[in-house]
Amino acid sequence: MSKSHTPAHTAEYYAEKFRLTVPLMAKHGISPTPRNYAVWFRYVSGETAALNECIDRLLEEKKAITDAMNNELFEEFLWECNIAQLEQARHDVQETLKETAATLINTGSDAARFGDALERFDASCSSAKSIQDVYGLLTEVLDETRKIKHSFNQVNEDFAVKSQEMDQLREELEQVKRQASRDALTGLTNRATFFELLNEKLNEEDTLTPHCLAMLDIDHFKRVNDTFGHLVGDKVIRFVAETLELSIKGQDTAARYGGEEFILLLPDTGLEGAAVLCNKIRERIAGSKLVRTGTRESLGQVTVSAGVAQFRHGEGHMELIQRADDALYRSKKNGRNRVTQA
């Protein structure tokens, strides 16, 4: 499938993409829901390279693409809802800042008027001819003092409210950020965010500290789906994700790479240490006893295979991933439920 971007979004453009999208969805048994159509229209248009790469991989592996998988693709690659939330939050921040600025401007006017009153009092005191004159000037200053006090009290109240509003907006932005960086099914870091973290780590100038990357794949996962259904398959994926999350620490990052495949970034970790960690994860998963909810029917032994590679100075992140993936392939080829070092 070509990944070229079509710049013109005319009626003819959409008609042509529709003509290509619908038969393609039918060919692969994709339900014609709005979300599914959005994913496959974007795939046909070639506007999101990462989405095309993920779908191409699924098609090459001849995997059945379910509604659940389509939903995950939508959540990971089509972020319109998150963008809308960010835009609303940005608007709210701007409005709060405008209101706060208006409060400061009003306070500035009151303060200037109070300063003028004090100057008049100072200038007029020396020329006052009676106590009555001084009393009149003092009355004016006291009146302005009461006004400025009220003004500053109002400012304090306004700032207390604005502070609460800004705290709430900050929490909303953090929530949107977390949603945009997480895999919908597992809650792990999603693929796009993982690539950002990986590039950031590999671009550091420190060339002496070792960094490792591990690819993990659930063995015979298709058999789980075919025997127990996709809902149980999703449960197995979540279980493996939880095991990864519990097994890492510090700067380590676990992400869902796609389908039943996961990826680990292990900074400040050498090849042997990474292999030891992956073997602990493998043993913990292999020793689990998963059962179906309700019937308590055993799902059989669930195992994972892994490939581990250590970053070589100068190589790109895709080269590192490919070496780990090649090691994973050797683990699969040599009997599964094992860890292989690149």
3-state secondary structure (DSSP) of residue 268 = coil
The Cα 325–Cα 333 span in angstroms is: 12
The Cα 40–Cα 77 span in angstroms is: 11
CB neighbours of 65 closer than 8 A, spacing ≥ 6? 28, 29, 30, 55, 58
Instruction: Report which residue type is found at 37.
Output: Y
Helix (H) or strand (E) holding 334: none
Instruction: Report which residue type is found at 96.
Output: T
Kindly calculate the radius of gyration of the chain based on its CA atoms and give it in whole angstroms. 31
Catalytic residue among 72, 75, 76, 260: 260
Q: Is 260 a catalytic residue?
A: yes
Per the CB < 8 A criterion, the answer to whether 195 and 261 are in contact is no
**Residue 341: closest CA among 306, 311, 314:** 306
The Cα 39–Cα 44 span in angstroms is: 9
What is the torsional sign of CA 220, 226, 227, 228?
positive
Catalytic residues: 260
